[in-house]
Amino acid sequence: MKRTGTLLLTLLTLTLFMLAPAMAQEEIDETRDVAKDASIFIGNPVGEVIVIGWDRSEVRIEGELGEGTRRLDVEGDEHRLVVEVVIPRRKRYVEDTDLEIHVPRGARVEIDVVSADVRVEGLTNDLVINSVSGDVEIDCRLEMLDVDSVSGDLDLRGETGRCSIETVSGDLELLSDSIKQLEVDSVSGDLELNLVRVDRLMLDTVSGEISFEGSILKRASLESHSGGIELFFDGEPSAGFEISTYNGEIDNSFGPRPHRVDRWEPELELSFESGGGDADIRVETFSGDVVLDTK
Amino acid sequence: MTHKDALLLLNDHIDGVLSPDHEDELHDHLATCPSCRAELDQLRALVTAAADLPEDIQPERDLWTGIEQMLEGHPRRMPASPRRSKAWFVVGGIGLAAAIILVTLGMSGILFREQVEIIPDNYANTASHYIEMMEAECRQGEVALHAAIDNSNESVTLVRMRDDIQIIDQALEESISAWRANPHNRRLARLVMTSYRFKVDLLNKAARVASNT
């Protein structure tokens, strides 16, 4: 009797083991009606998240749930929808879940991932992305963009009203026609910005290199410890400059040369006005070199 | 109101000490900024968590009193709040759970962002005091982070974050050394403060990653 019980238990366990992956690897294809400006939260720890804006008042979720995940939650109403991959508590390793989600163009979207890569295109409202190590690609014309990342690389294209980016070691490549306000913090990640126009620009790095190409219309504050800062303008800029470096070099192609602040210290300072002096540009480094030039 | 302006005001908003004008501006910003709303929710959760911490954890030293004394004559900027003080002090308990570290770093990080803006006239002494204070804060966060890395099966992300902390430490070493030789140089003091802000933010992020690893 005891033997039979053990055998049954073993068979049951084996069956569950065989069934579990099949359940976990299920295909996803769900559609929900939502408002054109609905708030949509998407959470997927590992794998890939692709979000595409479209003209329908619908959210369509396609993909495949990775092995080891528990389920996909799709909850909420037409104004707020949560799409979240749920993994079992204390589970360290799960297979990738790949999601492709179509949302209304005007939706406000927030995406939370750990190592999943994120690609977003065609949105026009607010976008918030929190990522640890996944790469992020965005091609949108947004009202507001907020990205918080640790080590993933960021590739941003399009136009944005307000844009705030924090990265630790991930590099940022940004190509945009117009941004009203851009704030970027980076520890060691390099920032490569190609902006036709930006009204307000605030960039802080520790060792990350900053390369900026474009026009600054109102105000810019760029600060770095050891990372170099290169500004390449579209022609002679209309701006007042306050540049200083404690232990780096300043190379200015269209204005006066820097002078030493104190004969006993290496600190260099350069203040001058160019064009009509419309914008205010402040650049400060500890040991990073500063280059001002035209494209 | 910029994103960073709003973040600076969240603490006072929770403490109920914000001016009506600032309240209105913050309210307008929150209505359009999901990120700041999330930050506010997180901050409320931190305050609640801090309030729930055991009463018998004693601070190693009374940092807040020191800050209050130092800022005498500048009451507008950092009103003392028992909740905030408590969270600030709890960092003294090395070896507390990652969640508590997150609470303390979160609170001190927000406080520190305010401090960057409020350095009063007695520049050299004030900057010196802040720098010592931030060093102590960071040192304790680092102890917790190293312990978390040791227990996290060598998480690649955490190891990379530790490398970045070393980059910031190198920056701090260089800028503090230069600043000590020129204690009245505001630019150097600001660069030091910026590096500390990066370090607090990074330790905060690392604590979050560690708690999920």
Residue B48 confidence class, pLDDT cut points 50, 70, 90: low
- Residue whose C-alpha is closest to residue B39's, from B18, B17, B10: B10
Interface check for A159 against chain B (CB to CB < 8 A): the answer is no
**Amino acid identity for residue A190 in this structure:** D
| pLDDT in the model for residue A225 | 96
Asked whether residue A142 carries a pLDDT value surpassing 90, the answer given is: yes
Q: For B63-107, how does the pLDDT look when each residue is reduced to its tens digit (9 = 90+)?
A: 334 333 433 333 323 333 322 222 222 222 223 334 434 444 444
Q: Is the dihedral of CA A23, A28, A34, A39 positive or negative?
A: positive
Q: For A183-192, how does the pLDDT look when each residue is reduced to its tens digit (9 = 90+)?
A: 999 999 999 9
User: What's the CA gap between A282 and A219, in Å, rounded?
Assistant: 8
Asked whether residue A293 carries a pLDDT value surpassing 60, the answer given is: yes
Asked whether residue B116 carries a pLDDT value surpassing 50, the answer given is: no
Least CB-CB distance to A204: which of B178, B194, B209?
B194
3-state secondary structure of A220: strand
Q: Choose, out of B40, B117, B192, B198, the residue to mutate when testing the contact with A (most A CBs < 10 Å).
A: B198
Contact A206 B171 (CB under 8 A): yes
Least CB-CB distance to A187: which of B32, B198, B209?
B198
User: What's the CA gap between A97 and A88, in Å, rounded?
Assistant: 14
C-alpha distances (whole Å) from B182 to each of A139, A160, B123, B189 are 46, 41, 12, 9
| Residue B164 with chain A: CB contacts under 8 Å | 168-169, 187-188, 206
- Chain A residue nearest residue B193, CA to CA: A225
- How many residues belong to chain B? 213
Distance of CA B142 to the CA centre of its chain: 13
Residue A16: how many other CB atoms lie within 10 Å: 10
- Chain B residue nearest residue A202, CA to CA: B4
Residue B31 confidence class, pLDDT cut points 50, 70, 90: confident
Asked whether residue A295 carries a pLDDT value surpassing 60, the answer given is: yes
Q: Give Cβ neighbours of residue A2 (< 8 Å, ≥ 6 apart).
A: none
Question: For chain B, what percent of residues have pLDDT higher than 70?
Answer: 51
Residue B177: how many other CB atoms lie within 10 Å: 11
With 0-12 / 13-18 / 19 or more C-beta atoms within 10 angstroms meaning exposed / middle / buried, residue A119 is middle
Interface check for A271 against chain B (CB to CB < 8 A): the answer is no
Mean pLDDT for chain A? Answer: 91
**In this predicted structure, which of A17-26, A115-124, A277-286 has the lowest mean pLDDT?**
A17-26
User: What's the CA gap between B42 and B24, in Å, rounded?
Assistant: 21
Contact B161 A144 (CB under 8 A): no
User: What's the CA gap between B71 and B21, in Å, rounded?
Assistant: 24
| pLDDT in the model for residue A50 | 98
- Residue whose C-alpha is closest to residue A177's, from A162, A194, A199: A194
Asked whether residue B128 carries a pLDDT value surpassing 80, the answer given is: no
Pairing of strands A239-245, A268-274: antiparallel
DSSP conformation class of A225: S
Least CB-CB distance to A187: which of B156, B168, B188?
B168
**In this predicted structure, which of A200-204, A253-257, A285-289 has the lowest mean pLDDT?**
A253-257
Mean pLDDT of A99-111: 98
- Could you report the predicted ipTM of this complex, rounded to two decimals? 0.82
Q: For A164-198, how does the pLDDT look when each residue is reduced to its tens digit (9 = 90+)?
A: 999 999 999 999 999 999 999 999 999 999 998 99
User: What's the CA gap between B189 and A200, in Å, rounded?
Assistant: 24
Q: Give the B-side interface with A, CB within 8 Å.
A: 2-4, 32-35, 38, 153, 156-157, 160-161, 163-164, 167-168, 171, 174-175, 178, 182, 185, 187-188, 190-191, 194-195, 198, 201-202, 205, 209, 212
User: What's the CA gap between A155 and A138, in Å, rounded?
Assistant: 6
Contact A162 B3 (CB under 8 A): yes
Q: Which residue has the tokens 């960021």?
A: A154
Asked whether residue A224 carries a pLDDT value surpassing 90, the answer given is: yes
User: What's the CA gap between A272 and A243, in Å, rounded?
Assistant: 9
| Residue A149 with chain B: CB contacts under 8 Å | none
Size of interface A-B (CB pairs under 8 A): 101
Distance of CA B64 to the CA centre of its chain: 13
Contact B160 A247 (CB under 8 A): no
**B15 in Cβ contact with B81 (< 8 Å):** yes
For residue A70, report the phi and psi dihedrals to the nearest 5 degrees.
-85, -50
Contact B195 A144 (CB under 8 A): no
- Residue B140 to chain A, least CA–CA distance (Å): 20
Question: In order of start, what are the domains of chain B with their CATH numbers?
Answer: 53-212 (1.20.120)
Mean pLDDT of A14-36: 72
Q: Look at A250 and A5; give whichever has higher pLDDT.
A: A250
What burial letters (b/e) apply to B190-209, b meaning 16+ CB within 10 Å? bbbbbbbbbbbbbbbbbbbb
Q: Look at A79 and B31; give whichever has higher pLDDT.
A: A79
pTM for the predicted model, two decimal places: 0.73
| pLDDT in the model for residue B15 | 61
For residue A65, report the phi and psi dihedrals to the nearest 5 degrees.
-75, 130
User: What's the CA gap between A160 and A5, in Å, rounded?
Assistant: 65
